[in-house]
Amino acid sequence: MLCPYCRTENRPGASRCAACTSWLVERQPVREWTRAREGAMLGGVCRGLATRFGLPVAALRVAFVLGTIFVFWGVVVYVALWVVMPREPLALPYRTTPVAATGPAPGWPPSPPAG
């Protein structure tokens, strides 16, 4: 896959250029502060943080487990983030056919009542 900005050849399926780190995909990944709906083990906090900050989700899960075992902050922080972080919105289906404007809907404008 050729980068359109620096013209560097990248591996097939790459989402970012290895040389200039520009996005190679049409739509950039969403980087919002939300809990994940898919790929979540408990509440989606670690998956949401991994998506937001571009970190491996396994590393965040290990950090929360170690934080829980050694100083108990892992549970407190995880529950606090579970409460504070909003749930990721549902994805809307992509419309493949354009909406044709054919004029006003049938019966519009409404006719005055008879009588």
> How do residues 38-92 score in pLDDT, each as one tens digit?
777 788 888 888 888 888 989 999 999 999 998 888 889 989 988 888 887 776 5
Q: SS3 sequence, 21-54?
A: CCECCCCCCCCCCCECCCCCCCCCHHHHHHHHHC
pTM comes to 0.51
Q: If you write DSSP's letter for every residue of 53-105 in order, what string do you get? A: HT--HHHHHHHHHHHHHHTSHHHHHHHHHHHHSPBPPPPPPPP-SPPP--SSP
Average confidence (pLDDT) over 34-38? 76
Q: Which is nearest to 34 in space by CA: 90, 88, 91, 82?
A: 88
Going from N- to C-terminal start, the domains of the chain cover: 1-29, 31-89
